[in-house]
A = this chain, B = another copy of it.
């Protein structure tokens, strides 16, 4: 063999060898940076990204440079040249207005003011008969966001020759909420233990912390609440603050601020006071000093997230104070430092005097206008608790003088937990697109959340994280898509779920058209499938007791009614459903008149919310002509069928996915299919006791008896 060929041969072997042992465990998320194979795009991209001007020299510009190096070497097989002074051959300019060379500023047209501190533009210009790309914004972090957008253009194989895009976040607080406990258990976590290895902090910064920050920055997330809303006051002690400071230092170059949960009774538990009354001067003083102390550790600390007066958490109610009085006390302590309070609206009485769906509204609506400027009220998307489907929360639109933050749950507590493929982009989109009619038609939930409906300076979106120590971060590979979709929708609540699914699929797996078509089909039907096999037609909260895993329509007689399934489905021989019209709890009255009218009228109430608002007889005739009972049964059956279809679709795109990720998804789809049948059989057998009607044609007969399902007790379910 001649030498060059021998060398070639060896190189080829070396490459194949280095790839061989590289099973893809999904750790790289949507930042796979797969090689661009297109013979037309590759040279174009290589030309455009070969010489890069980055004038900044700080932690964030270092991050930009490192990300470009990693990404471009992997995707384009080039080692880009970086320069801090523009050169003849420079084809990519990344800088703020002050940093960009004059000739580029002349050629671009940027809405500098509108960009704010986080928005960015990417524009292609002609310079010396060659194309140059400009990535710009008003801050280093904006440049980082622009860089990730640029890389996404490459990952999704877009034409970049005439690019002219501007992207400005529509909310300014975009945070993950980690329900992570200091002992590394994660409440409602299905992806292993907490990624925060508190014990080894501050001495050891896990590489995962950096990759966590990279992933979040790539989708515009700019904050993280490290600790569980069911908070432990110890996290506010110096023992933990030292550790928090190290995480904050690690995340800062990525534009990510750190927040903590504040346990309302902390002044008693760690402060040695005998009260936590928010109007007590000693309590106020304690919090002011505590906040000052925190800022010594973390100079850009974001602020507090608080769950108060709910599910056993202490709060202002303990002292006959309002939620506003509680929140404002913390807000005032934070104001000198420009910190914020995110005060959860998930407040409900331990005595359950009223329909639980009504309680947050009852508590908060009267407080509109009473909160300090640096308080956001954080409202779950629906009035109960992250159900597979809920109508929007009545507080959206009802508190015009208060910025309302959206709280979505990315972790799938009620949606199949760690093994069901349920793309939540669809759920998020459905909620955000709903019209509250608060200021007439077009007053969508999105506009409330963006603050644009009521001109709020503060706005935000929180996502309860699904991240853990599992090697692929989220347990289910498609859980990554939910993290991704949350980030994208927090940045722009008007984004389409279908577009998000498409770009995630491309970045995560493949740009192949058939793959994208099938992949999108799986993702976009998956939420409806889960609703069908779990809680069709407005049913809700009929999961297994406490762990919420699997069906539990028989759950009853617990220490509070509104933690039972029978409270929510109200099934009896005369029918099923929760009457929330005027003849029932009248929760409907909390919505704008247009919404009320639509939902209270059986003719206009969307069938997807039917049993949420109405109690109806089993033989009630649906629009399809079927009886309610048959319709319920057919929905369950359809859900099972959809999970079957997802398996078929996934198998059809096997060749586009590496073995390890393919197999994991397939295993989980099979578990999901199995559990969809469990749901169908258990729920139909249970409800059939009341309907006394046979299963309609097309619905498979249950495999076991109702007793079998009732007695089946899953053990050690994760996430509690």
Taking beta carbons and an 8 Å cutoff, which residues of A are in contact with B? 4-5, 7-8, 10-23, 25, 28, 33, 35, 69-70, 73-74, 77-79, 182-185, 192-193, 198-200, 203-205, 207-208, 234, 237, 239-240, 418-419, 469-471, 660, 664, 667-668, 670-671, 674, 713-718
Contact present for B203 and A70 (CB under 8 Å): no
**7 interchain pairs (CB within 8 A)?**
A17-B73, A199-B716, A200-B418, A200-B419, A203-B670, A204-B419, A204-B664
Contact present for A674 and B10 (CB under 8 Å): no
Which residues of the partner chain B approach A717 to less than 8 Å between Cβ atoms?
A: 199
CA distance A240 to B713 in the complex (A): 12
Which one of A4, A70, A204, A234 has the highest number of Cβ atoms from chain B below 10 Å of its Cβ? A204
Minimum CB–CB distance for A37 against chain B, Å: 12
Contact present for B660 and A207 (CB under 8 Å): yes
Minimum CB–CB distance for A603 against chain B, Å: 44
Name 7 extra pairs, CB < 8 A, besides A199-B418, A240-B715.
A21-B73, A182-B715, A184-B716, A192-B192, A200-B668, A205-B667, A234-B715
Which residues of the partner chain B approach A78 to less than 8 Å between Cβ atoms?
A: 13
Contact of A11 among B15, B22, B79, B199 (CB under 8 A): B15
Minimum CB–CB distance for A719 against chain B, Å: 9
CA distance A185 to B194 in the complex (A): 12
Which residues of the partner chain B approach A193 to less than 8 Å between Cβ atoms?
A: 184, 192-193, 469
Q: Which residue of B lies closest to A720 (CB)?
A: B183
Minimum CB–CB distance for A469 against chain B, Å: 5
Q: Which residue of B lies closest to A70 (CB)?
A: B21
CA distance A557 to B419 in the complex (A): 48
Which residues of the partner chain B approach A671 to less than 8 Å between Cβ atoms?
A: 200, 203-204
Contact present for B74 and A182 (CB under 8 Å): no
Contact present for A18 and B21 (CB under 8 Å): no
Minimum CB–CB distance for A440 against chain B, Å: 48
CA distance A10 to B714 in the complex (A): 54
Minimum CB–CB distance for A674 against chain B, Å: 7
Minimum CB–CB distance for A226 against chain B, Å: 14
Contact present for B13 and A15 (CB under 8 Å): no
CA distance A184 to B208 in the complex (A): 21
Q: Can you tell how many copies of this chain the complex includes?
A: 2
Contact present for A203 and B15 (CB under 8 Å): no
Known: A10-B77, A193-B469, A470-B469. A28 touches B17 (CB 8 A): no
Known: A17-B77, A469-B470, A715-B182. A22 touches B22 (CB 8 A): yes
Contact present for B79 and A23 (CB under 8 Å): no
CA distance A7 to B25 in the complex (A): 30
Which residues of the partner chain B approach A199 to less than 8 Å between Cβ atoms?
A: 418, 716-718
Minimum CB–CB distance for A670 against chain B, Å: 6
Q: Which residue of B lies closest to A181 (CB)?
A: B716
Contact present for A13 and B73 (CB under 8 Å): yes
Contact present for A419 and B13 (CB under 8 Å): no
Contact present for B20 and A18 (CB under 8 Å): no
Contact present for B18 and A28 (CB under 8 Å): no
Known: A33-B21, A73-B17. A203 touches B674 (CB 8 A): yes
Contact present for B74 and A204 (CB under 8 Å): no
Contact of A207 among B4, B25, B418 (CB under 8 A): B25
Minimum CB–CB distance for A65 against chain B, Å: 14
Minimum CB–CB distance for A596 against chain B, Å: 42
CA distance A713 to B239 in the complex (A): 9
Which residues of the partner chain B approach A208 to less than 8 Å between Cβ atoms?
A: 471
Contact present for A73 and B204 (CB under 8 Å): no
Contact present for A182 and B716 (CB under 8 Å): yes
CA distance A271 to B718 in the complex (A): 25
Contact present for A15 and B15 (CB under 8 Å): yes
Minimum CB–CB distance for A82 against chain B, Å: 15
Q: Which residue of B lies closest to A190 (CB)?
A: B199
CA distance A204 to B418 in the complex (A): 12
Which residues of the partner chain B approach A198 to less than 8 Å between Cβ atoms?
A: 716
Which residues of the partner chain B approach A204 to less than 8 Å between Cβ atoms?
A: 419, 664, 667-668, 671
Minimum CB–CB distance for A237 against chain B, Å: 8
Which residues of the partner chain B approach A70 to less than 8 Å between Cβ atoms?
A: 20-21
CA distance A717 to B713 in the complex (A): 32
CA distance A200 to B33 in the complex (A): 30
Which residues of the partner chain B approach A23 to less than 8 Å between Cβ atoms?
A: 207
CA distance A18 to B70 in the complex (A): 10
Which residues of the partner chain B approach A674 to less than 8 Å between Cβ atoms?
A: 203
Minimum CB–CB distance for A714 against chain B, Å: 8
Which one of A14, A185, A670, A671 has the highest number of Cβ atoms from chain B below 10 Å of its Cβ? A14
Q: Which residue of B lies closest to A718 (CB)?
A: B199
Contact present for A183 and B716 (CB under 8 Å): yes
Contact of A28 among B13, B21, B234 (CB under 8 A): B21
